[in-house]
């Protein structure tokens, strides 16, 4: 297992390196000049040139990339040209916010998706199976921004039960933190629940046809014991991979939800960086998200083996 983990970590290095090249070059293709955005209304050519020189924007692209990568390897993500703050500090401030939203969303998705998928598989072909599948498809199809707006209209505007946006850190007030994050977590968890439900259903349908499940039933075991003890553990193996990888997608893909609810996480950080031409911030967030995604992929493989020891590498 240790050799497997080391091999995966070594394989992640060239992946991140190639990704850094693509991220750096693609962001340079975006329209607009960061120096002009930073100069504001003062379009004095001398001021613009001094800004370019200060941030290395006057250097050739290969030189800019090597300088940026060298600083990155030393733990220096650069300085935001919009806020003048170290990007590393900004990442440390925003990551816990998005991580909390993503963990709450995936927890909601598991609590809803796994039981629904198991129930649909047990009742295959019934009205309940069709209903669960239809609801799951609807949850997957609804745009997150529209669902977020509808939840705000219902629970914040009409009923006044929850705030419409903003964020309160858990250390300041755990209850207010939950009240501010429950709606965005529901929005993010809805699509994830639909995906997990479908994977759980398909996996359980396969497992329920296996010989060891038929043998367990032939021994006279109760159906509940057969489902929970014999079928569910093997049926959840692909679901673990799906859920873990989807957590990585939530960490990097909560852009619209964080914008709708005004959550100061990674998604809002990317949007603000793009609008202000703060490319160093966007590069740092994308690379950080990619590193987290690769780490979660490794964790998913480890859990896969733990659930199915026969897959031991």
Please check whether residues 266 and 124 belong to one and the same domain: yes
- pLDDT confidence of residue 186: 87
Mean pLDDT over each residue of the chain, to the nearest integer: 78
51 or 129: whose pLDDT is higher?
A: 129
Please check whether residues 28 and 159 belong to one and the same domain: no
Does the CA dihedral 27-32-38-43 come out positive or negative?
A: positive
- pLDDT confidence of residue 179: 87
pLDDT digits 0-9 by tens, 78-93: 777 777 788 888 888 8
Please check whether residues 131 and 61 belong to one and the same domain: no
What's the rounded Cα separation, in Å, for the pair 296 and 313?
18
The answer for residues whose C-beta is within 8 angstroms of residue 72's C-beta and 6 or more apart is 20, 287
For residue 144, is it within any domain?
yes
Q: Does residue 312 surpass a pLDDT of 60? A: no
- For 3, half-sphere exposure in the C-beta direction (CA atoms, 13 angstrom radius) is 2
Residue 198: count of CB within 10 angstroms of its CB: 21
* Percentage of the residues of the chain whose pLDDT score is greater than 90: 0
Please check whether residues 111 and 217 belong to one and the same domain: yes
Report the predicted TM-score, pTM, of the whole model to 2 decimal places. Answer: 0.76
pLDDT digits 0-9 by tens, 226-236: 777 777 777 77
Please check whether residues 187 and 121 belong to one and the same domain: yes
For residue 5, is it within any domain?
no
pLDDT digits 0-9 by tens, 8-37: 777 778 888 888 888 787 777 766 666 666
């Amino acid at each position: 297992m240790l050799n497997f983990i080391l091999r995966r970590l070594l394989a992640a290095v060239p992946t991140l390196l190639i990704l850094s090249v693509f991220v750096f070059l693609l962001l340079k293709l975006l329209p607009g000049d960061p120096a002009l955005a930073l100069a504001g209304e003062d379009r004095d050519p001398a001021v613009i040139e001094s800004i370019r020189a200060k941030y290395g924007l006057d250097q050739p692209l290969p030189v800019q990339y090597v300088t940026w990568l060298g600083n990155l390897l030393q733990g220096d993500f650069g300085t935001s040209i919009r806020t003048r703050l170290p990007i590393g500090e900004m990442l440390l401030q925003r990551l816990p916010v998005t991580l909390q939203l993503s963990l709450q969303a995936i927890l909601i998705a598991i609590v809803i998706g796994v039981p629904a998928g198991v129930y649909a598989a047990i009742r295959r072909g019934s009205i309940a199976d069709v209903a669960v599948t239809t609801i799951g498809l609807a949850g997957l199809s609804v745009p997150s921004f529209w669902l977020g707006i509808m939840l705000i209209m219902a629970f914040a505007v009409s009923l006044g039960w929850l705030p419409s946006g903003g964020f309160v850190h858990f250390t300041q007030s755990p209850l207010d933190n939950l009240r501010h994050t429950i709606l965005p977590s529901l929005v993010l968890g809805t699509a994830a629940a639909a995906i997990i439900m479908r994977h759980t259903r398909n996996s359980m349908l396969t497992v329920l046809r296996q010989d060891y499940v038929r043998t367990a039933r032939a021994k006279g075991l109760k159906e509940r014991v057969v489902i929970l003890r014999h079928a569910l553990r093997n049926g959840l193996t692909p679901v673990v991979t799906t859920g873990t990888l989807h957590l990585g997608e939530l960490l990097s893909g909560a852009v619209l939800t964080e914008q709708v609810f005004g959550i100061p996480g990674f998604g809002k950080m990317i949007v603000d960086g793009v609008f202000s031409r703060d490319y160093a911030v966007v590069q740092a967030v994308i690379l950080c998200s990619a590193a987290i995604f690769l780490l979660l992929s490794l964790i998913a493989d480890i859990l896969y083996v733990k659930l199915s020891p026969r897959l031991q590498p």
